[in-house]
Amino acid sequence: MTFATYAAAQVLRVVPRVRLSQAVGRLCDTHVPAPLSRLAASLYARAYRVNLAEAEASGAYACFDDFFTRKLRDGVRPIAQAAVVSPADGLLAQLGPVGVNGRFAVKATDYRAGELIGDEAEAQRYVGGTFAVVYLSPRDYHRVHAPVPGQLSLVRSMPGDLYPVNSIGERHIRNLFVRNQRVAIVIDTPNLGRVTVVMVGAIIVGRITVTALGGDDTRPGIYPFHPPLALKAGDEIGVFHLGSTAVLFVEPGVTLTHDLGPIRYGEALSSR
Let me know if 89 is a catalytic residue.
yes
Beta bridge partners of 185: 155, 197
Q: Which of 142, 145, 172, 241 is catalytic?
A: 145
The CA R_g of the chain, rounded to the nearest whole Å, is 18
* Of the candidates 216, 234, 228, 223, the residue with the CA atom closest to the CA atom of residue 184: 223
Contact between 186 and 196 (Cβ < 8 Å): yes
Q: Burial-class residue 71 by CB neighbours within 10 Å (0-12, 13-18, 19+).
A: middle
Contact between 126 and 113 (Cβ < 8 Å): yes
119 secondary structure, DSSP code: -
Q: Which of 89, 119, 140, 270 is catalytic?
A: 89
CA dist 252 and 129 (Å) reads 4
Strands 109-112 and 90-97: unpaired
Q: Which of 21, 86, 244, 270 is catalytic?
A: 244
Let me know if 188 is a catalytic residue.
no
* Of the candidates 194, 224, 186, the residue with the CA atom closest to the CA atom of residue 125: 194
Let me know if 58 is a catalytic residue.
no
Reduce the DSSP state of residue 143 to 3 states and report it: strand
Active site residues: 89, 145, 244
